[in-house]
Amino acid sequence: MKQPSADHPISVSPLAGGLLVQFHGVTIARTQRALALKEAHYPEVYYIPHTDIIPAHFRRTAHSSYCPYKGQASYFSLVAGEQVSENAVWSYEKPYPAVAGIEGHVAFYPDRVTLTVTPA
């Protein structure tokens, strides 16, 4: 387990405003409680509470990955009608303490969905 540092900063904070997530024009999540994770030089990633997704559009897969700063990630595919995007969503179900705030949240590959931030 690695800790965030000045060389590799990580912060988790509430997103100002709401977040709408669509997959092929179908709303799959909507929240006023998104978190913004900023990590080093990577683009900001939005995390949405599991309670604010529409579960019918999510299918758990066997895929997983590991981040030394965040822990083990589980993945979900998105389904909307005939459209499927494999492993488009991930979740750190037991994140490391430095990013404990993302527990119970999911994140999306931004090239697979449409993310719209709405005003507060």
For residue 111 the two structure tokens come to 């090239």
| Model pLDDT, residue 120 | 78
pLDDT digits (tens, 9 = 90+) for 110-120: 999 999 999 87
Question: How far is residue 78's CA from residue 76's CA, in Å, rounded to a whole number?
Answer: 7
The answer, yes or no, to whether residue 8 has pLDDT greater than 90, is: yes
Q: pLDDT band for position 26 (50/70/90)?
A: very high
The answer, yes or no, to whether residue 7 has pLDDT greater than 90, is: yes
CA-wise closest residue to 28 among 70, 81, 97: 81
CATH number of 10-118: 2.170.150.40
Question: How far is residue 7's CA from residue 115's CA, in Å, rounded to a whole number?
Answer: 29
CB 17 within 8 A of CB 119: yes
pTM of the model: 0.95
pLDDT digits (tens, 9 = 90+) for 41-75: 999 999 999 999 999 999 999 999 999 999 999 99
Distances (CA, A) of 45 to 34, 58, 85: 10, 19, 18
CB 80 within 8 A of CB 59: no
| Model pLDDT, residue 88 | 98
